[in-house]
C-alpha cells in the first residue's frame, strides 16, 4: 500500500467514525457542538474548527469528502504551506483525531449536564479528592436525597452503594464509632446485591438455557432472601414473583400470574421505565409460551402487554427498537386484526429500526401481511427474494422464514391442486425445517423446550402434507386424530391459529 493509499484509508475511517458520532446528535446539539469546540478551554487551532464546519456542511448535504483534493488537505491541516504534501497528510489525520476527541468530550459533557444523578456522582467523586470535607459531605447528602427520591433500579441501587462506600471508607470518618454510616453502607450493598441477583436470575430463566449447577446456586440465594426479609420494594417483589412464574412447571399458566399482573399495574409508577420494559417483556415472553400450549385467548393476553409497552414508548427507550420486538408486535397484531394499534406502532417505531436490518424485518412482516390477505404467491415470492431456502442471516429471521415458507408452500400446493412441483417443494421445505431445528438443538442455540413448539409445528405440517396423499377416510381420520391429540394435550405449537384454520377447512 502506497503512502497516499494509506492516508486515504485512514482519513476515510476517521471521517466515517466522526460522521457516526455526528449523526447521533440532535439538530440543537449540533449547534451546541460548534460553540463547545470554539471554547477557549480546548485551545483548538482554527483549521480544526474550519474542518468541523466543512464536514458538517457535507454531512447535511450527503456529500462525500474527496481525499484526492490536495488543496483541501493543505487548507485544513495544521502544516505550513511550504511543507511537503506527506506532512500535510499526517497533520490532517491529527486534525481528524482531534475532532473525534472533541465530539466524544461533548457527548460526555451533555450526559453529565443532562442527568442530575450523573452530575451529582461526579461532583461527590471530585470533592472527595479535594481538601474541603464539608463540601464533600454536603454533596454526598444532596446525592443521597436525590437517590432516595428516585425510582429503584439496578443503577440507582449501584449509586446508593457507591455513595455509602465513599462516605464510610473516607479518611475523615470515625470508623470506631460511626455505626450508622457503616450500617448504611451494608444496607445499600444488600439492596444492590438483591436487585442484581434477581435481575440475573430472571434473565437466566427467560433465556431458558439449561445450567443446573448455576440454577441450584440461584435457588439457594433466593431462598436466603425470602427467609431473611418479609417485605420488599415493589421492584424486588415483582422480580421475585416473575421468577416464581418462570420456575413453575406444574401448572400452566402459573397461579402467581394474576397476582403479578395486579401488582405490576398497581405499582407501575414506582418503576423506572427500564424496569417496566424488562418486566413487561419477560412476562409477555412467558405468556407466548402459554399461548403455544393453551391457544387463542392467551394471544390476546400477550398482546395486552405488547400494547402497554408500545403505548408507553418503551420499545424506543434508547432511541432505537429491537427487530425482535418489532416483528413480534407486528405479527401478533396482524394475527389479531389490531389494525389501529399496528398503525400507531409502525408510525412510532419503524424509523427506530437499525438500517442494517430494516429491509429484512419489513420483508418478513410484509410477507405475513400478504399471507393474511391471501396473496400467497406474492408472499412466497417476497419471502424467497429476501430469505432464500438456505439463507443464514440470523436465528430470529431464519426460523420464522422457514416456518412461513412451509405454510405458504402448503397453501400453494392446495391452490394448484397438488401438482408434482408444489408437492416436492412443500416436502423439501418441511425437511429443511426439520434439519434446521435439529442443528439448533445440537449446537445448543435453542433448548429442547424452546424448540418444542417449532418441532411440533413441523410434525403437524408433515401430517397435513401426508393427509393429502390419503384416499381412504379411515386413514385421514387417524391422521386428523393425531393432530387433534397434540392440540388437546396443550403441546407447545407455533402458528397454532394457522393450523386450526387448516383443520377447519378439512371439516
Residue with cell 431458558: 208
Mean pLDDT value of segment 412-434: 84
Residue 386 in this model has a pLDDT that exceeds 90: no
Choose the weakest-confidence range: 56-70, 87-101, 154-168.
Answer: 56-70
Query: pTM of the prediction?
Result: 0.76
Query: Would the CA dihedral through 215, 218, 222, 228 be positive or negative?
Result: positive
Q: How many CB atoms lie within 10 A of CB 35?
A: 9
Closest CA to 152 of 234, 267, 231, 240: 234
d(CA 17, CA 12): 9
d(CA 103, CA 18): 8
Residue 82 in this model has a pLDDT that exceeds 70: no
Give the pLDDT confidence of 333-352 residue by residue, as tens digits.
Answer: 999 999 999 999 999 999 99
Residue 65 in this model has a pLDDT that exceeds 80: no
Chain length of the chain: 507
Q: CA torsion angle for 336, 338, 342, 343 (degrees, to 10)?
A: 150
* Percent of the chain with pLDDT strictly greater than 90: 47
d(CA 482, CA 497): 17
d(CA 33, CA 46): 15
Residue 419 in this model has a pLDDT that exceeds 80: no
Q: How confident is the model at residue 451 (pLDDT cuts 50, 70, 90)?
A: confident
Residue with cell 457535507: 58
Calculate the alpha carbon distances from 396 to 94, 367, 446 in Å: 42, 15, 11
Mean pLDDT value of segment 77-97: 82
pLDDT recorded at residue 209:
66
Mean pLDDT value of segment 382-401: 81
* CA-derived radius of gyration, the chain: 30
Residue 394 in this model has a pLDDT that exceeds 80: no
Residue 249: all three cell numbers together:
412447571
H-state helical runs in 208-252? 212-228, 234-247
Q: How confident is the model at residue 491 (pLDDT cuts 50, 70, 90)?
A: confident
pLDDT recorded at residue 283:
97
Q: Phi/psi zone of residue 130: left (φ > 0), alpha (ψ -120 to 50 degrees), beta?
A: beta
Q: pLDDT higher for 472 or 483?
A: 483
Choose the weakest-confidence range: 155-164, 201-210, 362-371, 449-458.
Answer: 201-210
Answer yes or no: are the C-beta atoms of 281 and 482 closer than 8 Å. no
- Residue 74's φ and ψ, nearest 5 degrees, are -65, -35
Q: How confident is the model at residue 393 (pLDDT cuts 50, 70, 90)?
A: low
Residue with cell 402497554: 308
pLDDT recorded at residue 216:
84
Work out the widest C-alpha separation in the chain, in whole angstroms: 96
pLDDT recorded at residue 144:
96
Choose the weakest-confidence range: 141-145, 341-345, 430-434.
Answer: 430-434
Q: CA torsion angle for 92, 95, 101, 107 (degrees, to 10)?
A: -110
d(CA 399, CA 331): 14
d(CA 201, CA 184): 26
Name, in order, each residue with C-beta under 8 angstroms of 163's C-beta and a sequence gap of 6 or more. 121, 124, 140, 143, 144, 147, 188
pLDDT recorded at residue 6:
85
Q: CA torsion angle for 287, 289, 291, 294 (degrees, to 10)?
A: -120
Mean pLDDT value of segment 119-148: 93
pLDDT recorded at residue 355:
83
The whole-angstrom distance between residue 493's C-alpha and the CA centroid of its chain comes to 25
Residue with cell 473525534: 100
Residue 457 in this model has a pLDDT that exceeds 80: yes
Burial track 438-473 (b if 16+ CB lie within 10 A, e otherwise): eebbeeeebeeebbbbbbbbbbbbbbbbebeeeeee
Give the pLDDT confidence of 205-216 residue by residue, as tens digits.
Answer: 888 766 778 888
Q: How confident is the model at residue 442 (pLDDT cuts 50, 70, 90)?
A: confident
Query: Would the CA dihedral through 493, 498, 499, 504 be positive or negative?
Result: positive
- Residue 79's φ and ψ, nearest 5 degrees, are -80, 165
Q: Phi/psi zone of residue 118: left (φ > 0), alpha (ψ -120 to 50 degrees), beta?
A: alpha
Calculate the alpha carbon distances from 135 to 123, 126, 440 in Å: 10, 10, 58
Q: How many CB atoms lie within 10 A of CB 5?
A: 10
Closest CA to 409 of 477, 338, 458: 458
pLDDT recorded at residue 238:
96
List the beta strands (DSSP E) in 373-416: none
Q: How confident is the model at residue 507 (pLDDT cuts 50, 70, 90)?
A: low
If you average pLDDT over every residue of the chain, what do you get?
A: 89
d(CA 125, CA 371): 59
Residue with cell 427506530: 352
Q: How confident is the model at residue 66 (pLDDT cuts 50, 70, 90)?
A: confident
Mean pLDDT value of segment 104-108: 95
Give the pLDDT confidence of 281-297 residue by residue, as tens digits.
Answer: 999 999 998 998 888 88
Amino acid at each position: 500500500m502506497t503512502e497516499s493509499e494509506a492516508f486515504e484509508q485512514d482519513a476515510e475511517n476517521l471521517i466515517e467514525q466522526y460522521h457516526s458520532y455526528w449523526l447521533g446528535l440532535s439538530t440543537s446539539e449540533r449547534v451546541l457542538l460548534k460553540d463547545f469546540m470554539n471554547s477557549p478551554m480546548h485551545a483548538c487551532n482554527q483549521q480544526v474548527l474550519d474542518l468541523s464546519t466543512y464536514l458538517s456542511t457535507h454531512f447535511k448535504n450527503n456529500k462525500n469528502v474527496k481525499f484526492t483534493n490536495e488543496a483541501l488537505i493543505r487548507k485544513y491541516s495544521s502544516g505550513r504551506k511550504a511543507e511537503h504534501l506527506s506532512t500535510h497528510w499526517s497533520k490532517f489525520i491529527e486534525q481528524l483525531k482531534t475532532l473525534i476527541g472533541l465530539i466524544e468530550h461533548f457527548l460526555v459533557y451533555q450526559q453529565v449536564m443532562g442527568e442530575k444523578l450523573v452530575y451529582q456522582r461526579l461532583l461527590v467523586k471530585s470533592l472527595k479528592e479535594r481538601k474541603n470535607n464539608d463540601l464533600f459531605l454536603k454533596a454526598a447528602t444532596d446525592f443521597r436525597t436525590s437517590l432516595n427520591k428516585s425510582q429503584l433500579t439496578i443503577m440507582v441501587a449501584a449509586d446508593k452503594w457507591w455513595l455509602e462506600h465513599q462516605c464510610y471508607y473516607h479518611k475523615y470518618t470515625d470508623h470506631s464509632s460511626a455505626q450508622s454510616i457503616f450500617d448504611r453502607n451494608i444496607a445499600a450493598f444488600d439492596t444492590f446485591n438483591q436487585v442484581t441477583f434477581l435481575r440475573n436470575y430472571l434473565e437466566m430463566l427467560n433465556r431458558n438455557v439449561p445450567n443446573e449447577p448455576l440454577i441450584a446456586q440461584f435457588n439457594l440465594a433466593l431462598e436466603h432472601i425470602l427467609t431473611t426479609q418479609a417485605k420488599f420494594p415493589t421492584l424486588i417483589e415483582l422480580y421475585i414473583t416473575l421468577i416464581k412464574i418462570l420456575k413453575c412447571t406444574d401448572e400452566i399458566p402459573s397461579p402467581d400470574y394474576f397476582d403479578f399482573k395486579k401488582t405490576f399495574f398497581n405499582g407501575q409508577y414506582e418503576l423506572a421505565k427500564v424496569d417496566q420494559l424488562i418486566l413487561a417483556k419477560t412476562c409477555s415472553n412467558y405468556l407466548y409460551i402459554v399461548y403455544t400450549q393453551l391457544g387463542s385467548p392467551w394471544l390476546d393476553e400477550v398482546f395486552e402487554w405488547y400494547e402497554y409497552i408500545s403505548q408507553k414508548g418503551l420499545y424506543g427507550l434508547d432511541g432505537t427498537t429491537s427487530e425482535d420486538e418489532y416483528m413480534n408486535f407486528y405479527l401478533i397484531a396482524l394475527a389479531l386484526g389490531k389494525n389501529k394499534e399496528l398503525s400507531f406502532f409502525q408510525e412510532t417505531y419503524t424509523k427506530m429500526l437499525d438500517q442494517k436490518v430494516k429491509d429484512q424485518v419489513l420483508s418478513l412482516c410484509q410477507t405475513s401481511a400478504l399471507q393474511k390477505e391471501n396473496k400467497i404467491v406474492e408472499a412466497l415470492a417476497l419471502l424467497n427474494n429476501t430469505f432464500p431456502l438456505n439463507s443464514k442471516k440470523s436465528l430470529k429471521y431464519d426460523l420464522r422464514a422457514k416456518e412461513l415458507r412451509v405454510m405458504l408452500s402448503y397453501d400453494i400446493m392446495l391452490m394448484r391442486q397438488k401438482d408434482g412441483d408444489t408437492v416436492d417443494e412443500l416436502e423439501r421445505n418441511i425437511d429443511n425445517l426439520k434439519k434446521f431445528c435439529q442443528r439448533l438443538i445440537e449446537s445448543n442455540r435453542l433448548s429442547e423446550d424452546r424448540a418444542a413448539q417449532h418441532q411440533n409445528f413441523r410434525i403437524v405440517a408433515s401430517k397435513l402434507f401426508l393427509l393429502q396423499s390419503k384416499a381412504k377416510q379411515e386413514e385421514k381420520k387417524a391422521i386428523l386424530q393425531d393432530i387433534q391429540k397434540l392440540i388437546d394435550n396443550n403441546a407447545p405449537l407455533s402458528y397454532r391459529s394457522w393450523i386450526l384454520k387448516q383443520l377447519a377447512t378439512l371439516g
